[in-house]
Amino acid sequence: MFEIILANFGFWFNFLVPVGIALYLVLTNREYIWKEFAIQAGATLAYVAIIYALLFSVTTDLLDENYYNGKVKSSTYYEEWTELVTYTESYSCGTSKNPRTCTRTKTRRDYHSPYYQIKTDLGETISIRRGDFLKTTREFGKKEVYLHRSGQVSYGDGNKFVSYPTKVIPTSVGHTYENLVAAANGNVIHTKVPKSDIQMLVKKGKLREYPVLYKGAYGETILNRIIDTTGLSKIDIAKFQNLATNVGRTKQANPIIYITKEDSSFKDALSQYWNMGKKNDVTLVLGVNDDGIIVWSDVICFTNNTDFIVDMQSDFEDKKLNNDLLPIIEKNINKSFIRKPMKEFEYLKENITLEWYWQFLIFIGNLIMSGFITWKFLNNWERKR
């Protein structure tokens, strides 16, 4: 994000204009000294850097989240415990004529609450509830692990209990990244489906939002990766989650299936509505008839391998919506899917900017802040010699 902010003309305008005025004042005015110039320059830089970072984060699609697929490695319960903390406190110990500050050492007891969490095979952490952990231990057992904690004064607690699953429990965990494709203005990757068509598809329930995470049976987070607008799918979601775990490890892929009765032009509408999805998505779009037979297929993903796209467009025709599709999906992803790095879209950074009204708001705020600081510094008691 820092590079994008620096490439924005508004950032430099809002920084250099107040600093330039301050530099002129420090060179020409006795009431404005170099220390004040440094304070004003620092305050201006902090203001524009923070406000631009904040607005780029909340008013654009720059910050996005993609999903890594793994499996539960362990579920852990950390017991409560109490810690004796030693700290230093300052206090006034002088007189009104001879004020002094003294220090003294004190202690306090800090209570640490119990908590439960999952560790994935990708090194991720997922917070879970007590009931989730109990379900895991009933099925897979647990073992106690002694923990040495410096400063612990409570007894019979402070340890952890770990449960190791004996079966695959898929997980999906979100990771933040900069989505240059979604944030860029006038992005050439976006298709040109009329907004009215997209709004109509949304209203009819044909176009749905991007999948969301939900909690699984053991507290793990899972992506709702099959979107069926037809009600005809016979695909086992659990088996598809296992597939996602496999290709997540081997190909950094996040597979999704979207099922529709629309014609093949629907793929462009979905691609535009989802901004082509996340950087590691492989969204298989399946068009079916009333009998649940696939009449067309297409894929939305970031890849330079056209062979993968061709295979995903041809390998599913005339097939039924059942588990027979899963080996074909996994084979094609492992065979020819190559995720396109987001760095290949860095040329889009120059097209990422804030709307004019946000730029205007930043300018007004900067004008008020810089004007107030300048007024205070011009009316101080310090003078140049």
Measured CA to CA, the distance from residue 312 to residue 264 in angstroms comes to: 13
**Does residue 146 lie within any of the structural domains?**
yes
How is residue 248 written in tokens? 């997540």
Selection from 203, 186, 225 nearest residue 66 by Cα: 225
**Does residue 169 lie within any of the structural domains?**
no
How is residue 2 written in tokens? 């820092």
Per-residue pLDDT tens over the stretch 69-126: 999 999 999 999 999 999 999 988 877 778 888 999 999 999 999 999 999 999 999 9
Amino acid at 296: W
Measured CA to CA, the distance from residue 364 to residue 281 in angstroms comes to: 41
pLDDT of residue 260: 97
Cβ-Cβ contacts under 8 Å for 140 (sequence gap 6 or more): 163, 164, 165, 166
Contact status, residue 268 vs residue 191, Cβ threshold 8 Å: yes
How is residue 38 written in tokens? 């440094």
**What's the structural domain count of the chain?**
3
pLDDT of residue 29: 81
Measured CA to CA, the distance from residue 114 to residue 77 in angstroms comes to: 7
Residues of the chain with pLDDT > 90, as a percent, come to: 68
Same-domain status, 154 and 79? yes
Phi, psi angles (nearest 5°) of residue 232: -105, -5
Same-domain status, 197 and 135? no
Selection from 273, 220, 277, 302 nearest residue 64 by Cα: 277
**Does residue 125 lie within any of the structural domains?**
yes
pLDDT of residue 383: 63
Measured CA to CA, the distance from residue 261 to residue 228 in angstroms comes to: 10
pLDDT of residue 100: 87
Q: Residue 356: how many CB atoms within 10 A of its CB? A: 9
What is the mean pLDDT, run by run of 10 residues, along the chain of 385 residues?
80 88 85 85 92 87 91 97 94 83 93 97 96 96 94 94 96 91 68 88 96 95 96 95 94 96 95 92 96 96 93 94 96 94 80 86 91 84 61
Contact status, residue 347 vs residue 335, Cβ threshold 8 Å: no
Helix (H) or strand (E) holding 367: helix 356-378
Per-residue pLDDT tens over the stretch 176-206: 988 888 887 655 566 688 989 999 999 999 9
pTM for this model (two decimals): 0.82
Same-domain status, 251 and 203? yes
Same-domain status, 100 and 215? no
**Does residue 170 lie within any of the structural domains?**
no
Cβ-Cβ contacts under 8 Å for 156 (sequence gap 6 or more): none
pLDDT of residue 345: 81
**Does residue 174 lie within any of the structural domains?**
no
Selection from 99, 297, 101, 62 nearest residue 183 by Cα: 62
By residue range, what is the domain housing residue 145?
A: 68-163
